[in-house]
Amino acid sequence: MREAKDERIVVNMGPQHPSTHGVLRLILELEGETVTEARAGIGYLHTGIEKNLEYRSWTQGTTFVTRMDYLSPLFNEAAYVFGVEKLLGIADEVPEKAQVMRVMLMELNRISSHLVAIATGGMEIGALTVMTIGFRERELVLDLFELITGLRMNHAFIRPGGVAQDLPDGALEEIDGFITLMRKRLKEYADLCNANPVFKGRLEGVGHLDLEGCLALGLTGPILRATGYPWDLRKTQPYSGYEDYDFDVITWDTADAYGRFRIRLAEMWESLRVVEQAATRLAGLAGAPVMVADKKIAWPAQLAIGSDGMGNSLDHIRHIMGESMEALIHHFKLVTEGFRVPPGQAYAAVESPRGELGAHVVSDGGTRPYRVHFRDPSFTNLQATSVMSEGGMVADVIVAIASIDPVMGGVDR
């Protein structure tokens, strides 16, 4: 042993480790402090969501997909719903107000997700102030989600045909207040981190991956845009009317962890611009529908809730019971089975905070999906673990993973 020229050791970092993103296991082969080989071990958070979708109606599917990437639930819902709407042939019938609400909610969600990316990334390298103020701002976004959808996370709010319900009273005023406050608060991050020599020393040149490497691995999102390539589905393949909003695609030219941090910080400013434009549009759409006219598709969203919040209101039941026996039978089948979707398959993609999030939705003509498969950006981007880490120091593995910003709920599904 004394005569050996090198001494290599294999270390398991995780799956439960205070400095890794989520329930991720990293198998590191070390030579001293240098990483010679890095592999990612996944599957510790497997939920079987894709399989579960095959046993639920099309609308119930939103309650499953929203739990995949739990930091960007509204993007999961949007990708799935866009695929279902393509199969139904109703993509052009979704009311304008529903599309504007979707855009506004997704951009708010992008802000909350980036805040967590910056906060946890700061925590992992010891910048605890970044963490505390990051989660402080995220709470403001979650308060808005609770006001609009009724839940802070896992909303199941974006449904086939539109959204579950209209904006509540006072929502636009709350959003305006949030935009004003965030424009003050975001400057704190820039003042604290952008030119901070300690922060830059930990991030600059770490986790380097150029454009050629990103394209070879199929990486998207801030990792790709940090190489200077302006690929953003909101601009390159617009959906939900994104072509009508004024915002910029943020790029950087360093292809490292520092560039990815700067991109996420700048993207929050652009999201605020989009949210502001959407809120202005919604102010002029008061009373407009938020769901397609087809009652079969719209039914779960137009359900009249009882005073206890736990079921159908008595008026709703009397109306159905008193109409006719045929109407009651039809309603019963709709409730128990859901609507049918024509056979076929469709792929729909959105630009999530981590990159291209796509849903491949397959129908056999029934009331439940035949198969739904997601292209989750966290899963694809996690491939970069080895190429970003090998040859660097152990401490830099943490920074590289944080700059990828994987969410294990999306990786394992």
pLDDT per residue rounded down to tens, the chain (413 residues): 465 556 788 888 877 766 667 788 888 888 888 888 888 888 888 888 999 999 998 888 999 999 998 899 999 999 999 999 999 988 888 999 999 999 999 999 999 999 998 888 888 877 788 888 888 899 999 999 999 888 899 988 999 988 988 888 888 999 999 999 998 888 888 887 778 888 788 888 888 889 999 899 999 989 999 999 999 899 999 998 899 999 899 999 888 888 898 899 899 999 999 999 999 999 888 888 888 888 778 776 666 666 666 666 777 777 777 777 777 787 788 778 888 899 999 999 999 999 999 999 999 988 899 999 999 999 999 988 889 888 888 888 888 888 888 888 889 88
The H-assigned helical ranges of 125-256 are 128-149, 171-189, 197-203, 211-217, 222-225, 233-236
Cα separation, 224 vs 227, in Å, equals 6
Select from 217, 191, 200, 198 the least CA-distant residue to 256: 200
Cα separation, 110 vs 72, in Å, equals 7
Region for residue 357 given its phi and psi (left: phi exceeds 0; alpha: psi -120 to 50; beta: otherwise): beta
**Would you state the pLDDT for residue 307?**
65
Q: Residue count of the chain, please give it.
A: 413
What does the DSSP assignment read for 16-31?
Answer: S-TTSSSS-EEEEEEE
Cα separation, 76 vs 65, in Å, equals 6
- Write the secondary structure of 311-325 as one string of H (helix), E (strand) and C (coil): CECHHHHHHHHHHCH
CB-CB neighbours of 132 under 10 Å: 12
Select from 382, 335, 342, 336 the least CA-distant residue to 362: 342
Given a contact cutoff of 8 angstroms between Cβ atoms, the answer to whether 70 and 153 are in contact is yes
Cα separation, 204 vs 185, in Å, equals 24
**Would you state the pLDDT for residue 308?**
67
Cα separation, 348 vs 315, in Å, equals 39
Cα separation, 161 vs 302, in Å, equals 12
Region for residue 81 given its phi and psi (left: phi exceeds 0; alpha: psi -120 to 50; beta: otherwise): alpha
Given a contact cutoff of 8 angstroms between Cβ atoms, the answer to whether 338 and 348 are in contact is no
CATH for 49-412? 1.10.645.10
The H-assigned helical ranges of 204-324 are 211-217, 222-225, 233-236, 257-283, 295-298, 314-323
Given a contact cutoff of 8 angstroms between Cβ atoms, the answer to whether 115 and 133 are in contact is no
DSSP for residue 72: S
Looking at residue 320, its amino acid is I
**Would you state the pLDDT for residue 297?**
81
**Would you state the pLDDT for residue 353?**
93
**Would you state the pLDDT for residue 18?**
65
- Type and span of the H or E element at 251: none
Task: Give the chain's end-to-end CA distance (angstroms, integer).
Answer: 45
The dihedral over CA atoms of 173, 179, 181, 185, expressed in degrees to the nearest 10, equals 160
**Would you state the pLDDT for residue 120?**
85
**Would you state the pLDDT for residue 2?**
60
Domain regions of the chain by residue span = 49-412
Tell me the three state secondary structure of residue 366. Answer: coil
**Would you state the pLDDT for residue 237?**
92
Which pTM was predicted? 0.90
- Cα 86 → chain centroid: 20
Cα separation, 339 vs 57, in Å, equals 8
